[in-house]
Amino acid sequence: AQSVTQPDIHITVSEGASLELRCNYSYGATPYLFWYVQSPGQGLQLLLKYFSGDTLVQGIKGFEAEFKRSQSSFNLRKPSVHWSDAAEYFCAVGPSGGSYIPTFGRGTSLIVHP
């Protein structure tokens, strides 16, 4: 069964600092990987996704993520955080191979200090 682990429940950074949110997955084949962001009071919005090819993927709002098969990781990064990036971030393994159900991590709450 596929699973996703986001080891950090909360992350606090200062505005302008760099950011890395961790995501580890368990999946038997090549995974389809996603990062979603949830602003307060909103639904989830796709930041970026990895299906195949280049292991470094670019997303919206200046985010990027790197797929590392050897580490079963798909960490999200941003070189300089803005106050508006404060939100909940979810990593997910996409449905594939006959499964209709994506698997989400429990989320990481990003707090940005001015």
Partner 1 sequence: NAGVTQTPKFRVLKTGQSMTLLCAQDMNHEYMYWYRQDPGMGLRLIHYSVGEGTTAKGEVPDGYNVSRLKKQNFLLGLESAAPSQTSVYFCASSSRTGAGGELFFGEGSRLTVL
Instruction: Kindly list the residues in this chain that would bind partner 1 in the complex (CB under 8 A).
Output: 9, 32, 34, 36, 41-46, 49, 51, 90, 92, 94-96, 99-102, 104-107
> How many angstroms separate the CA atoms of 62 and 46, rounded?
13
Q: What's the burial of 1, exposed, middle or buried (CB within 10 Å: 0-12/13-18/19+)?
A: exposed
Rounded to the nearest whole angstrom, what is the least distance from the CB of residue 107 to partner 1 in the complex?
Answer: 5
Q: Which is nearer to partner 1, 79 or 95 (CB)?
A: 95
Rounded to the nearest whole angstrom, what is the least distance from the CB of residue 114 to partner 1 in the complex?
Answer: 25
Q: Which is nearer to partner 1, 81 or 89 (CB)?
A: 89
> How many angstroms separate the CA atoms of 25 and 40, rounded?
26
Q: b or e along 4-36 (b: 16 or more beta carbons within 10 Å of the residue's beta carbon)? A: bebeeeebebeeeeebebbbbbebeeebbbbbb
Rounded to the nearest whole angstrom, what is the least distance from the CB of residue 4 to partner 1 in the complex?
Answer: 9
Rounded to the nearest whole angstrom, what is the least distance from the CB of residue 80 to partner 1 in the complex?
Answer: 26
Q: Which is nearer to partner 1, 17 or 56 (CB)?
A: 56
Q: Which is nearer to partner 1, 81 or 90 (CB)?
A: 90
Residue type, 107: G
